[in-house]
Amino acid sequence: MAGSIFSTFFLHLAILGISPALAHLEHRTAVTDSASLGPQLTLRPQAPSFAFDLTNALPPASSSLTPLSSLPPACSDSVGPNNECTSTMSATAITYEDCGDPFVVCRCADANMTMDTIVDRLGRVPVGLRRFVANVVVSSAPLSGSHAYTNLTTGDIHMFGDTTMDVWIHEATHTFDFSPPFDTTPSASQGWADALQQDTCVPDNYSQTNRVEDFAQLSVIKIYALLHSGNLPPGFNSTCMQNQLTFMDGLSLYNATQLFGNTCAIQGETGRSAWHTKPPAVLDASRVFQTVPLDPTATAGAALMRSSAVSTTSMTAGGWLVATSIFILFWA
C-alpha cells in the first residue's frame, strides 16, 4: 500500500486505542498484554474451545502454482537466526480458480504443513473472505505449539505448525476487519460494542480475550451457520449471542452468495478494500453456494470438550495448543 495509507492506518490505530507496536497480532500464543485492543470481555463462554472442523464443509478451489525467484519483504523479514524461519524459505504464487490475482505463500523448509496442505486450506477459505489476505508465511511450530498471527497493518498471516481450518478463517477475518478504510473497523464500531453490551455470552474462552478476537471467533461460527442452513455448531446456542450474530448479518462480507461465490471481483461491494479483486480468466458457473448437512460426529466431540477439565491458561484442542492471551511486540 502507499505510504499515505499506512500513515492513515497509524492515525486510526491511535484513535482505536491500538499501539502500532502491538499491531502485529498473534492468535493463541501468550506473549504480552492484550489491553491495547480493548479490555477482556466478561461475557460467559459457551465452550472451552471449538471442537468442530470446517474442512469438509468448505469446498476446495483448484489452483496453479508458480515458484518465485525471490522472497517478498513480508517473507524475507521472517528468515534468519532467532527468527520465525531459521531454515531456508521459498515463495510460491498460487492462482486459484476463483481469482485472477495470485496469492503469495512463503514456506519455511522445515514447516509442519506441506505445500499441498497449505494450498488446500487457503483455497477453502471462502473467496469473499480470502480476497482480504495479503501474503501467507508458514513456519514450523515452536515448543509452545501450533499457532498463528495476523499483521494488522499489512494483512499478512503467519502460520506455525499444523493449523486447523478454524484458525485460517479466524486469521483471514482479522485481515477483513482491519482492511481500509481504517476508521470503520467493524470490531471497533459502536454497533459491535452495543452487541457485546446487550449479549450475555461469547462462543468460547478465546473469544473473551477482547472485542477483536471475539469478532474473529464469531466469524468462524457465522460461516459455520451459513454452511449449515443457519444451524450453529453442536452445543452452541444463538440466544445469548444473538446481537453479535445480527451485527454480522448486516455486513456485506456474510452475503453467502458472494462469500462462497466463484470470483474475488465482487461487484457493487462498498466499504472495505481487498488485496485480491481481479476476476478469474474463466468463471466456473458450477462453483456456487451450497449448504451442507450437519456432521453428526461433531456432537460427540462437543460433548467431550465440555466434560473435560480446562485450564485457564492453555488447553489442547484437536491436537494443538491453545493459549488465552495473544499479543507480541513486533514493530521496529
261 in a domain, yes or no?
yes
Residue 253's pLDDT band (cuts 50, 70, 90):
very high
Model confidence over 19-70: pLDDT tens digits? Answer: 332 333 434 432 233 456 789 999 999 999 999 999 999 999 999 999 999 9
105 in a domain, yes or no?
yes
> What total of structural domains would you count in the chain?
1
| C-alpha cell at position 72 | 517478498
5 in a domain, yes or no?
no
Residue 112's pLDDT band (cuts 50, 70, 90):
very high
Model confidence over 259-274: pLDDT tens digits? Answer: 999 999 998 766 789 9
| C-alpha cell at position 130 | 480470502
Measured in whole angstroms, how far is the alpha carbon of residue 152 from the centre of its chain?
Answer: 11
8 in a domain, yes or no?
no
More confident residue, 89 or 30: 89
3 in a domain, yes or no?
no
4 in a domain, yes or no?
no
Domain hosting 278: range is 25-323
SS3 category, 196: helix
| Among the ranges given (21-25, 153-157, 245-249), the one the predictor scored with the smallest mean pLDDT | 21-25
Residues near 286 by Cβ (< 8 Å), separated by ≥ 6?
none
Residues near 29 by Cβ (< 8 Å), separated by ≥ 6?
144, 147, 149, 323, 326, 328
203 in a domain, yes or no?
yes
222 in a domain, yes or no?
yes
